[in-house]
Amino acid sequence: MAGIYIHIPYCRKACHYCNFHFSTSTQRLNEMVQAIGMEAKLRKDYLQEPVKTIYFGGGTPSLLPVQDIQWMTDIFRELFKVDKDAEITLEANPDDISIQTAAAWKAAGINRLSIGIQSFFQEHLNWMNRAHSAEQALQSIQVVQAAGFDNITIDLIYGTPGLTDEKWHQNVQQALQLNIPHLSCYALTVEPKTALDKMIRQHQIANVDGNQQSHQFELLMQWMQDAGYRHYEISNFAKPGKFSRHNSSYWQGTTYLGLGPSAHSFNGNSRQWNIANNALYLKSIEQQTVPFEIEYLTVAQQLNEYIMTGLRTSEGISLAYISEKWGDENTAAIVKDAFKWVEGEKIHQHNRHLVLTNAGKLLADGIAADLFR
């Protein structure tokens, strides 16, 4: 299987914590849509496998006129072997959602929505510099459900300064009461060169508290387990049958093609990424050239990639698969290095799989790095 990711590099305003590539000027949005269509044509040979997922991300792809979404989807179906029942996800901000837009998206073939809620509290949305209000956060979910969308995910952020355990619980409970089948929950990360980073360095706001973030993550895991959700990836929780097929393909190491400025592609042997500059991207595509850099992965990098992504999932990493693809010597070394984590109850070893325990999920990146070859 394969997937297509489309990066729409525009937002109404800049969230304080965001370090994704985007512009708040949409002057050249129509040119960008045309360029992305052209890039797809230039790279039509990148994907040989059936395309089972399409993901409109960003940025804020819900800014796009629905006819542009339909146009791009039609082009992908012409160029690639897109399954009739492919999962087609659109990231949407609450302030872009109305009865009309929800109905139009559904008619255009969008069958999954990822809504950037982040919080149901106005003071937290103000602190993040989000474009939508708490009222819009609630209403947007009700609107898309009324439009017939049942495959919905929302984003929530925890570990922000001032977010009490009680309000974090209220955020999660609100999502559960709304019967949201999938939640992506992220600890606030202070990325370099963001507005948040600058404000913290200038002592305008408090820094994040790592201990508080860990505590709120532990609370989250328990609440979601009690509610019957599967914690199928570090940041993702879903009801049965509602896993993100697109994101799961990333974690399983399948091939995906990224289109648009800053979009990444991966085919198992190499990863490549487009230039993160809208003007230069448009100029290059106009000249029939895709502006990307590429990195060819060594055998060790391919193994480490599998360890990093696999450990984040509920299936963990398969020792049998590692033996088959990278040899018994690497498998033995990984088992040896994992022993202290198994003894410390951070990893559970079962049926030739290494799976992080809840305590281990708090240390996921460090444990993965320790197992790298």
Q: Which two structure tokens, joined as six digits, stand for 13? A: 């305003």
Alpha-helical regions (H) of the chain: 29-42, 66-79, 99-107, 122-128, 134-146, 165-177, 195-201, 210-226, 245-251, 278-286, 299-311, 319-326, 328-343, 358-361, 364-371
Q: pLDDT band for position 140 (50/70/90)? A: very high
pLDDT digits (tens, 9 = 90+) for 236-252: 999 999 999 999 998 88
Listed by start position, the domains of the chain span 2-251, 299-371
The strand pair at 51-58 and 82-92 is best described as parallel
Instruction: Specify the amino acid at residue 164.
Output: T
Question: Among 19-33, 40-54, 102-116, 289-303, which stretch is predicted with the lowest mean pLDDT?
Answer: 19-33
The class (CATH top level) of 299-371 is mainly alpha
Residue 19 gets which letter from DSSP?
-
Instruction: Please give the mean pLDDT across all residues of the chain.
Output: 95
* pLDDT of the residue at 205: 85
2-251 CATH: 3.20.20.70
For residue 203, pLDDT over 90 is answered with no
pLDDT digits (tens, 9 = 90+) for 113-126: 999 999 999 999 99
The Cα angle at residue 34 between residues 31 and 40, in degrees rounded to 5: 140
pLDDT digits (tens, 9 = 90+) for 53-80: 999 999 999 999 999 999 999 999 999 9
For residue 199, pLDDT over 90 is answered with no
Q: pLDDT band for position 1 (50/70/90)? A: confident
